[in-house]
Structure 1
Amino acid sequence: MESIIFSHAIADDLKRYLDNQRYSQLGIITDTHTVEACYPLIKGQLPKDHHLYAFPAGEINKNLDTCSHIWEWMTEAGFDRKAMIINLGGGVTGDMGGFCASLYKRGVRFVNIPTSLLSQVDASVGGKLGVDFNGLKNHIGVFSEPETVLISEEFLKTLPEAELKSGYAEVIKHGLIRNADYFHSLKFTKWQKQNWRDIIEKSVSIKRDVVEKDPKESGLRKILNFGHTLGHAFETFYLNTKHHLLHGEAIAVGMIAEAYLSHTHMAMPKDQLEEIKEALLRVFGKFNFPESNVLSITELCSQDKKNEGKTINFSLLKKIGQCEYNIAVSKKEIAAAIQFYHSLKV
């Protein structure tokens, strides 16, 4: 597993880390939003001869075309196999920057500095990297761990509330799949006012524990996908539309729908279904969509990476704090779960 540094002073801690490393060139990969909001927080402590690449921000640019531009930049800068890459940004930057570093010259070292709550508690830990392809989320990817992850809540101050909320969906998920006490300790009203450092450290510890037991997602690690089979279907369906959903917004929809499947498939108590539904609706509200889209969203679940042949597999809750994986669900049942969400009154 990668080493994780929980930083109190990100610029100083980064300099201390780099002073103890040997590398031929240093490259920073970021996006056009983060280069303005977060890069200034570390720039003063970086070597003056570092190279910087900022790609256009947004999930829509997490694709092989952008990777080609990154590889061209690395090639033109003369990066060799002793180079080091720092991925400064949210989940898109960490996924794509790590992917590019892992394939360039068969792999160069990379470090993640996650700047969003989502990337701090989820995307930067565990070594899953990838890009979207033909409209399918994370369809092309590899497992490759960063050398180190430097995590600092300093960056959370740069986030719009919608981005902070998006990351909070993964925090909630960690409690639902692994630790009921953690879930019940979270705030669902006035959720913005929390001890974020404690939350980040707790969520990272939950994810690391799961990943260490199953690094390549052959079994237990699949529980981290609770809410993601249907969540990714919603995210993919609305990716290039004016109703585009942030990752956490889509996962919140997915968790409610998959909590319904947990009730019908795993006999999760109905009062827990209600508790999950009410908690998520208080934070995220209801996403309204036309009933005519149910079939198309259902079909997108056929592309989920947990599937085996034509069997669509879910990770579902036995109860809050206990998740099981490889649960086969039919398209008819998936459509019923989406209909359940669609019918909610807020």
Structure 2
Amino acid sequence: MKPIVSKDSIVYFGQECYTRLNSYLEKANHSQIGILVDSNTHELCLPLLMSKIEKEYDIEIIEIEAGEIYKNIETCSGIWNALSELGFDRKSLLINLGGGVVTDLGGFVACTYKRGINYINVPTSLLAMVDASVGGKTGVDLGNLKNMVGVISESEMVLVDTEYLGTLPVNQMCSGFAEMLKHGLIQDRQYWEKLSDLSQLELDDLDQMIYDSVVIKNNIVLKDPTEQNIRKYLNFGHTIGHAIESFYLTHPEKPTFLHGEAIAIGMIMEAFISSELLSVTQEDLQHISDVILATFPKIEIASKDYEKIMELLIHDKKNEKGIILFVLLNTIGEAKYNCQVSDELIIKAFEYYNSL
């Protein structure tokens, strides 16, 4: 597959990943190389990556705990201290091998350590391959508030090898699939329809679907790298989805949502709002709801929690001057940003979701 060139980075696919990686490592002559892993990717993914590195380098492995709850400044501090103790300087390289937590957090660590060292993302989850590792967004959560601290700064390269997906449980694959569905909803109706009927797809089609998703995201990012306008499209489903994810993250008696699972709920609710405020037809709303619920079984959201979840909307990064702003759909394949939505309509969206 042809590499996808972003503003300051290149996304490589398949076996070309390792040809490019080895060429880069040889030419760059970094003073030290670190590989950031979590407790899962250390065991399941690191052996494959190490087997692909052709020359002998002095490589330090830095491990963090797996899970969204460790995507915080405390984890960053531990990594910064480890890099410092290992003598990493500004000519060092950090390779982030993992899902969205590792690529987001690892990118942030690299961008801030000694005011910035080079880093490479090797995504190992579907979510990271199609979304988290591409586009230069790095960061960590602040308490239960998603991605509140971070910078936009692209990696040297992103290496997408679907062999790593063999290590993923089904729910993690579904989590990434939510972002692929989002790409179709905001930009490409034909792509959405292709994803809508997975019964017609072969496993070999996955590589092309991932590639198409990265193309959609990259085309948006190239036009608006710092999210001043159309890059906001990529947040469809995330205004409500992030609030749901944050709320459930801090209530141990409730189920914990993976990112994509929460975004799936957010997309249904924001599609409903789109049907009320914009031009999404009832037929398309039902189609969107059916497709998403075919992969993400419905979770009953207690009505007593509506307002508590809504209180978290004020922290959404698209907001301006205290006004909550949504990305909505004009129709499948066409989005609109900076949409104001009343509290009453948000509550109706919760009720719509629960009625399905």
Structure 1 length-normalised TM = 0.96
Q: Measured at CA, do residues 228 and 339 of structure 1 come closer, stay the same or move farther in structure 2, by a change above 3 Å?
A: same
Matched letter for residue 220 of structure 2: V
Matched residues in 1 for 2:177 and 2:201: separation? 9
How far off its partner does 1:302 sit? 1.2
Of 9, 17, 30, the match for 1:23 = 30
Instruction: Verify: 1:88 aligned to 2:97, yes or no.
Output: yes
Q: How does 1:240-251 map to 2 (within 5 A)?
A: 240=250, 241=252, 242-251=254-263
Q: How does 1:138-149 map to 2 (within 5 A)?
A: 138-149=147-158
Of 177, 180, 185, the match for 1:168 = 177
Partner residue in 1 for 2:300? 288
Q: Measured at CA, do residues 98 and 192 of structure 1 come closer, stay the same or move farther in structure 2, by a change above 3 Å?
A: farther
Partner residue in 2 for 1:212? 222
Of 308, 320, 332, the match for 1:320 = 332
Partner residue in 1 for 2:117? 108
Matched letter for residue 270 of structure 2: E
How far off its partner does 1:338 sit? 1.5
Secondary structure at the aligned position of 1:314 is classed as strand
How far off its partner does 1:20 sit? 3.0
Instruction: Verify: 1:272 aligned to 2:284, yes or no.
Output: yes
Q: Give unpaired runs (5+ residues) of structure 2.
A: 1-6
Matched residues in 2 for 1:69 and 1:256: separation? 38
Of 298, 317, 327, the match for 2:310 = 298
Matched residues in 2 for 1:20 and 1:90: separation? 27
Instruction: Verify: 1:333 aligned to 2:342, yes or no.
Output: no
Matched residues in 1 for 2:206 and 2:26: separation? 29
Q: Provide, for residues 34-90 of structure 1, a one-character-per-residue CA deviation record: whole Å limited to 9, x for no partner.
A: 111100101234434101111000000000000000000100110100001100000
CA contact (8 A) 1:10 1:42 kept: no
CA contact (8 A) 1:228 1:254 kept: yes
How far off its partner does 1:309 sit? 1.8
Partner residue in 2 for 1:132? 141
Matched residues in 2 for 1:8 and 1:284: separation? 32
Q: Percent identity?
A: 46
Matched residues in 1 for 2:29 and 2:240: separation? 44
How far off its partner does 1:251 sit? 0.5
How far off its partner does 1:238 sit? 0.8
CA contact (8 A) 1:29 1:88 kept: yes
Of 266, 284, 308, the match for 1:254 = 266
Structure 2 length-normalised TM = 0.93
Matched residues in 2 for 1:151 and 1:93: separation? 15
Matched residues in 1 for 2:329 and 2:101: separation? 28
| Two-structure CA RMSD over aligned residues (Å) | 1.5
How far off its partner does 1:6 sit? 0.8
CA contact (8 A) 1:27 1:85 kept: yes
How far off its partner does 1:22 sit? 2.2
Q: Give unpaired runs (5+ residues) of structure 1.
A: none
Partner residue in 1 for 2:4? none
Matched residues in 1 for 2:177 and 2:68: separation? 18
